[in-house]
Amino acid sequence: MQKTDENQNDKFYKEVVEGLGSPQKYLQPKYFYDKTGDVLFQQIMAMPEYYLTRCELDIFKNKTAGLAKAITAPGGAFDLIELGAGDATKSSYLLEYLVEQQTDFTYMPIDISGNILTVLDENLKAKMPQLDIVCLEGEYFDMLGKAAALSPRRKVVMFLGANIGNMELEEAHNFCHDLYRNLNPGDLLFIGFDLKKHPDTILQAYNDKAGITSKFNLNLLTRINRELGGDFNLEDFEHYQMYDPQTGACKSFLVSLREQEVSIGDKTVHFKKDETVFMEISQKFSEAEIALIAEETGFKALQTFTDDKGWFMDAVWEV
C-alpha cells in the first residue's frame, strides 16, 4: 500500500512538473478530485447553473423504460458495466427498474476508488437486496478485461456524466475505439454527451456566480502545496473560463496575476504576469458530431435519448 502511494505521488509530481514546464502550461483535471475536490464537485453538481447532472438525471428518471428496452432488446442475460460509477445516482433508477422487471443481469461498477465502491455496494444492496452486483476496483480497461474473464455474457458498458467531454477530441476518439476493440459483436456502449446549446448557458455552468468552479480549479494548487511541497499563493491566481461555440470547446484556465516564481519540491516554476495554465476541457457536441464519432470508431449508432430541454444526450451504440 505504502509503495503504491509513493508511486502515485511520484507520478503526480512528474506530471505536474511536466505540465508546468510546457510552453503552454497545463495541469491534468484528473487531479482535481482529492477529498476537498470531491466535495466541491458535489457542490458544482447542485449549482443552479450546472445543468448537466439534472439533465442526465431527467433522462434516467423519466425515460427509464425506454433505456431498459434498449439495453435488454438483444435478449438474454447480460453484464451491465458502469465506468466511473461513483455513487450511481443516475444509474440506480435504471437498476431499480431492471430488478423490478426481474431482468437477468449483473451490475458491475468500475471505479478507481475502492472506498466509493464499498459505499456503493452497501447502499445498493440495502435498497435492492435482489440486485446481483460485482464491484471492480481499478483502471477501466484492466477491469473490462476482468469482467470479460469473469463471465462470457454479453456486455452493456455505461460511460455517463459527460466524462467523455473531459478528453481532447483525439483522446476521446481513441478512448471510444479502445472500448470498441475491448468489446464483442452485439455488446453495447451507453455514453453521455453534453450537447451544444446557447453559449451563455454553457459558459455560466462553468463560470458560476458563487465562484465554486473557481474554488474547484484553485484547489488543485492547494493539493500541489500539500502533497508535493509547493508554495503557490492562491491569491496570485484567478480562474478564467471560455467557450468557443464553433469548436464546442469549453476550457478553464488559471491566470497568474503577477510575475512570480513558485517552488514545487526542488523545482522552481516561473510565471509571467497574465500567463495562463490550461486546466480542463469540457467539450460540447452536436448530434452529427456524436454520430460521426460512433461511425469513425467502429460502432453502429442505434438510439439516442435526450432530456426534456434537449440539452444532454445519452447515445446507445452497438459493436
| Residue-by-residue DSSP string for 201-221 | HHHHHTS-TT-HHHHHHHHHH
Of the candidates 81, 77, 72, the residue with the CA atom closest to the CA atom of residue 146: 81
Residues 185-214 that bind ligand AVI (CB under 6 A): 206, 213
Going 117 to 122 to 120 to 98, the CA torsion angle's sign is positive
Closest residue by beta carbon to ligand AVI: 282
Q: Is 192 helix (H, G, I), strand (E, B) or coil?
A: strand
Residue type, 20: L
Q: List the one residue from 19, 109, 165, 230 that touches ligand AVI (CB under 6 A).
A: 165
Q: Please give the size of the binding site for ligand AVI, defined by CB under 6 A.
A: 12
Kindly write down the DSSP assignment for every residue of 58-98, as one continuous string.
Answer: HHHHHSHHHHHHHHHTT-S-EEEEEET-TT-TTHHHHHHHH
Question: Of 54-62, 157-165, 220-228, 264-272, which part binds ligand AVI (CB under 6 A)?
Answer: 157-165
Of residues 42-71, which lie at the interface with ligand AVI (CB under 6 A)? 44, 52
Core vs surface per residue 87-126: b (16+ CB within 10 A) or e? ebebbbbbbeebbeeeeebbbbbbbeeeebbeebbeebee
In contact, 223 and 34? CB cutoff 8 Å: yes
Taking residues 245 to 274 in sequence order and writing x for each that binds ligand AVI by CB under 6 A, - otherwise, the string is: ------------------------------
| Nearest Cα to Cα of residue 190 among 58, 301, 310 | 301
Give alpha helix (H) positions in the chain. 2-20, 35-46, 52-62, 64-72, 91-100, 114-127, 140-150, 169-182, 199-205, 212-228, 287-296
Options 151, 166, 225, 263; binder of ligand AVI; rule CB under 6 A: 166
Residue 5 beta carbon to ligand AVI: minimum distance, rounded to whole angstroms: 24
Q: Which stretch binds ligand AVI (CB under 6 A): 4-12, 162-170, 195-203, 305-313?
A: 162-170
The phi, psi pair for 156, rounded to 5°, reads: -120, 115
Of residues 40, 95, 162, 269, which one binds ligand AVI by CB under 6 A? 162
Taking the C-alpha atoms of residue 277 and residue 169, their distance in angstroms, rounded to an integer, is: 19
Nearer to ligand AVI, 109 or 161 (CB): 161
Binding region for ligand AVI (CB under 6 A) out of 95-103, 132-140, 156-164, 225-233: 156-164
CA dist 314 and 277 (Å) reads 31
Min CB(229)–ligand AVI separation in Å = 26
> Residue 223 in 3-state DSSP?
helix
Question: How far apart (Å, rounded) are the C-alpha atoms in residues 212 and 295?
Answer: 37
Choosing from 89, 106, 151, 163, the residue that interacts with ligand AVI (CB under 6 A) is: 163
Q: Which range touches ligand AVI (CB under 6 A), out of 110-118, 161-169, 230-238, 303-311?
A: 161-169
Cβ at position 29, least distance to ligand AVI in Å: 7
Report if residue 37 touches ligand AVI, rule: CB under 6 A: no
Is 105 or 243 the residue whose CB approaches ligand AVI more closely? 243
Q: Which is nearer to ligand AVI, 276 or 282 (CB)?
A: 282
Of these, 280, 307, 311, 319, which contacts ligand AVI (CB under 6 A)? 280
Task: Tell the smallest beta-carbon distance from residue 75 to ligand AVI (Å).
Answer: 33
Residues lying near ligand AVI in the complex (CB under 6 A):
44, 52, 161-163, 165-166, 206, 213, 216, 280, 282
